[in-house]
Structure 1
Amino acid sequence: MVSAGSTTGGTAISLPAAQQLIDGKLVPSSSGATFPILNPATGQEIGQAPDATAQDVDAAIAAARRAFDESDWSTNRELRLRCLRQLHQALLDEADAFRALTTAEVGMPGFMMGAAGFDVPVDGLRWVTDLLESYEFESDLGVAEPMGIPSRRTVRREPVGVVAAITPWNVPTQINLAKVGPALAAGCTVVLKPAPDTPWVACELGRLVAEHTDIPAGVFNVVTPRANDVAAQLATDPRVDMVSFTGSTATGKAIMAAAAPTLKKVFLELGGKSAAIALDDADVASVAGATAFAACIHAGQGCAITTRLVVPREKYDEAVQVAAATMESIGAKDPAHPGAICGPVISEVQRDRVASYLRLAEEEGGRFATGGRVAAMDGDLAGGYWIEPTVVAGLDNSSRLAQEEIFGPVLVVIPHDGDDDAVRIANDSAYGLSGSVDSADLERARAVARRIRTGTLAVNGGVWFSPDAPFGGYKQSGIGREMGVAGFEEYLETKTIAEPA
């Protein structure tokens, strides 16, 4: 057993050491090698993860292939329903330990466990299981006479096969379950490869599958290689039918290229640089405060967070002032503290990357209305990876700060000169993942929202994040949709069958 106590304010939770799940067995690396799991709030080691070898990845792919081809998992809906409900109950039963581990390993503030940190993804597993129960895998197209031949046509939806699910470190339980749940429900078999920064929550998911469900051996596997070249086999191996990846746009492009020789199906949920637009009749102070709050959540480590605040030019100074005051009131805190909103960034590498953008902000001519530095913390937290919540003013949308995904608690405030200009700024981005529009006139806000090329939009404070709502992006924010019926159907192929009428 290993202690996963989070930080100075955390409660120690004893959990089994992280192990891989390969072909139904919880196993270490075949080489015996491990790597440290660090608490990003303190920089201290909290556990060890198996450093998977190419042999481990090969074994996991072979197990998943065999389970898909030789077992009845893909065709036995009742088995899948029973197993997924068992997994859902196991997650509920071990919720406290899972939440504590997430705060410790991910640096995620506790308040997020009621949303993307734990509750929403677990409810999403329940939702997709209910969908499986009612989903029509066959539909009748009726009789037609193509080329004069009377034929009855049936359209079948069938599982795509072996899925490699490759997930990031920012909200691992959400993204792990958003891939694994629909894939298993569809009848696929899965090899899950988590980010090396957050392997433990994925290993815990594997442990729950092994110890608390009837999921057959090989149907679900977890491997934890630290090296990219070992993980790359998942994108190139011809036994894998689909790669489902969430992470950076650069890595997504590399995965797409690696998968091309075998023409795998590829799902990509990638970066974002989303705009929060306040029109000239909106309550700009309210929008600025809400956007600054959102940019602080989990230290800004969310692909769909609105990190560009686009406000009327005449209200620019007010928006900057309110955003700065909001961020100052939030500050950076121990994620185990009950009032924490902005915890650490995930690693020293990420902290240094964000710090480089802060230096760039000044080089580009921007100014810091608040923040702008690596945060100085006391006690155990002094060894963690901290960035001050930061508001950058004085830059336009052509700046790199406004164009590139930073993945830290950094908000850039940009002026606009009317609705058309606001739409132009929002769309002037390589990304198109999320955004928001606020106006006193709902129809006006809707009209602007319809012109923004992005996958999700909040209008006047509406919330789109829900298990039944598809999520994904336009442009370089990705290909395909996760969650909702559309997310489930990503893991299905379509077959048309014709027979004499």
Structure 2
Amino acid sequence: MTVSTGSTTAWAPPQQYVDGKLGPASGGATYPILNPATGQEIGQAPDSTVDDVDAAIGAARRAFDETDWSTNTELRVRCLRQLHAALLEEKDAFEALTTAEVGMPGFMMGAAGFDVPVEGLKWVTDLLESYAFETDLGVAAPMGIKSRRTVRREPVGVVAAITPWNVPTQINLAKVGPALAAGCTVVLKPAPDTPWVACELGRLVAECTDIPAGVFNVVTPLSNEVAAVLSTDPRVDMVSFTGSTDVGRAIMAAAAPTLKRVFLELGGKSAAIALDDADVAAVAGATAFTACIHAGQGCAITTRLVVPRDRYDEAVQVAAATMESIGAKDPADPGAICGPVISAIQRDRVEAYLKLAVEEGGTFATGGTVIDQDGFWITPTVVAGLDNSSRLAQEEIFGPVLVVIPHDGDDDAVRIANDSAYGLSGSVDSASLERAKAVAARVRTGTLAVNGGVWFSPDAPFGGYKQSGIGREMGVAGFEEYLETKTLAFPA
């Protein structure tokens, strides 16, 4: 397979953005940004220091406390519309950079890669224009004192947005857009694997918007210890984090002494359920396709295929044939569905799970190997012969790996789906919509596709049950994560 390296000529060098200024890290250090399809260096990111993070927090605190950003709705609308227009203007360059830095196939740009998050920024700006920040509860006489009560919604304050590498533009904008719209100020800290697209967001804010200095900041430390300041600093009012459940726990614990608000969108091990009257072959093919998207590097991807026991062999065969037809391709190829995984660390982690599958008694209907070439590649893999108690079925792998599990009826399918520490997403298919809806009502997940319905949209809340997180992103609920509630009473 020939893999393109991508050109960097159209991209500004990555710079941190602190207190209205683009520039290098204060210590001058950098670290390499690699193209996961080739393993080659495509740029150098500023390695932000503790002083840089401190300065970003201080700038965000001052901007919230001393400017009218938190109260000037008209200014916020104008600035967010400027950012939206700038993103559309830079669409081609932004998408090419995402493919080079993230290894994301181009077909995803019409969805989570670019179009949906940018549309989400417009959606939340439209919401801001019409949102009722104040509600009149009317007159009452609590404790015999006649009073008029009002409920106000006000911004939380300084938000630390900590984002992962898998779909960075989607998650960056799903945090930054609502937080800024709500009137908060933001320090964005992207994953060290994908700092460049976050730096580009900072550049667009600096060059194309009237967002005041300090309202939005981007820092890109390589060290987790440096980044951890965002979870402990008392000047930060809220941490909004997307990533692994283990890191989410650590952030929650670090934020506890200052009782910060914490939003967590964490892992998933979502089940695709085919009931016994469903078109099992169609469900198996669709689920195998989904598990290949972006090399399986999506928290909401269905990675457990739960099918009737008497259709199990058929489902395994169809899933394997689908994955074989997709293969792993250069993400710059217009036909690519499954590209590389993000890094050598992630490739080795997935490979360890493939070895574990054999140790647990599973077999590979297809795949099961690392692709020996430059970059970080795993063959799309279908694992058969394991039950839901296996680690392969219980743990988030974050690679193109699908585990097929048999069920013995609707109740058993629901049991299997719910027998997980996670509860992020899933799907249910049946010839009967009412039957599918009845099963869906019993599955404990934050999002669920029924008979092929699509929930992913800027106006639809996204988040999970159990260890998949706390709170919701996108939709009105996602906007309101960044608001406090104040009740006022006046003499009537």
Aligned residue for 1:14, secondary structure, equals coil
CA apart distance, 1:11: 5.7
Deviations 1:296-347 (A, max 9, x none): 0000000000000000000000000000000000000000001000000000
Distance 1:53 1:237 in 2: 15
Provide the secondary structure at the position in 2 that maps to 1:310.
strand
Secondary structure of residue in 2 paired with 1:467? coil
Task: Name the residue aligned to 1:318.
Answer: 314
Task: Spell out, residue by residue over 1:435-487, the C-alpha distance to the aligned partner (whole angstroms, 9 max, x if none).
Answer: 00000000000000000000000000000000000000000000000000000
Q: Mapping of 1:360-439 within 5 angstroms? A: 360-376=356-372, 382-439=373-430
Confirm whether residue 147 of structure 1 aligns to residue 138 of structure 2: no
Equivalent pair of 2:5/2:40 in contact (CA under 8 Å): no
The 5 A counterparts of 1:169-188 are: 169-188=165-184
Deviations 1:147-176 (A, max 9, x none): 111110000000000000000000000000
Residue equivalent to 2:436: 445
Indicate conservation of the 8 Å contact 2:8/2:42, yes or no: no
- Of 211, 229, 233 in structure 1, the residue corresponding to residue 207 of structure 2 is 211
Q: Secondary structure of 2:316's match?
A: helix
Deviations 1:412-446 (A, max 9, x none): 00000000000000000000000000000000000
Q: After superposition, what is the alpha-carbon deviation per residue over 1:17-57, rounded to whole angstroms, capped at 9, x for unaligned?
A: 10000000001000000000000000000000000000000
Residue from 285, 289, 292 that aligns with 1:289: 285
Could you tell me the percent identity over the aligned residues? Answer: 86
The CA distance in 2 between the partners of 1:485 and 1:14, in whole Å, is 36
Q: Distance in 1 between matches of 2:32 and 2:8?
A: 18
Which residue number corresponds to residue 272 of structure 1?
A: 268
Deviations 1:382-438 (A, max 9, x none): 210000000000000000000000000000000000000000000000000000000
Q: Measure, in 2, the Cα distance between the counterparts of 1:9 and 1:195.
A: 21
- Which of 130, 133, 136 aligns to 2:129? It is 133
Aligned residue type for 2:470? I
Amino acid at match of 2:361: G
Judge conservation of contact 1:282–1:439 (CA < 8 Å) in 2: yes
Instruction: Tell me the number of residue pairs that the alignment of Structure 1 and Structure 2 aligns.
Output: 491
Alignment partner for residue 351 of structure 1, among 326, 347, 353?
347
1:9 and 1:337 in contact (8 A); partners too: no
Verify the 8 A CA contact 2:148 2:489 in the aligned structure 1.
yes
Report the AA paired with residue 439 of structure 1: S
Counterpart selection for 1:479 from 460, 464, 470: 470
DSSP-derived class of the 2:135 partner: strand
Q: 2:485 aligns with which of 458, 471, 494?
A: 494
CA contact (8 A) 2:427 2:451 kept: yes
Aligned to 2:159: 163
Q: Is the 8 A contact 1:13 1:100 kept in 2?
A: no
Aligned to 2:188: 192
Q: Which amino acid aligns with 2:236?
A: V
1:55 aligns with 2:19: no
Q: Which amino acid aligns with 2:168?
A: P
Q: Which amino acid aligns with 1:500?
A: P
Which amino acid counterpart does residue 133 of structure 2 have in structure 1? F
Q: Which residue in the other structure is 1:379 paired with?
A: none
Structure 1 position 105, deviation (Å): 0.1
**Distance in 1 (alpha carbons) for counterparts of 2:182 and 2:49:** 29
Instruction: Find 1:112's aligned residue among 108, 121, 126.
Output: 108
Amino acid at match of 1:387: I
Partner of 1:65: 61
Separation (CA, whole Å) in 1 of partners of 2:468 and 2:73: 33
Unaligned runs of 5+ in 1: 1-5, 377-381
User: What letter matches 2:277 in structure 1?
Assistant: D
Deviation at residue 16 of structure 1 after TM alignment: 1.1
Gaps of 5+ in 2: none
1:45 matched to 2:34? The reply is no
Aligned counterpart, 1:252: 248
Matches of 1:35 and 1:86 in 2, distance apart?
A: 31
Report if the CA contact (8 A) 2:5-2:100 is conserved.
no
Does 2:460 match 1:469?
A: yes
2:14–2:196 Cα contact (<8 Å) kept: yes
Give the CA RMSD over aligned residues.
Answer: 0.9
Task: Indicate if the aligned counterparts of 1:109 and 1:336 stay in contact, CA closer than 8 A.
Answer: yes
Given that 1:13 and 1:101 are in contact with CA atoms closer than 8 Å, whether structure 2 keeps it comes out as no
AA partner of residue 397 (structure 1): N
Instruction: Quote the residue 1:3 is aligned against.
Output: none
Structure 1 counterpart SS, 2:71: coil
1:87: which partner in 2?
83
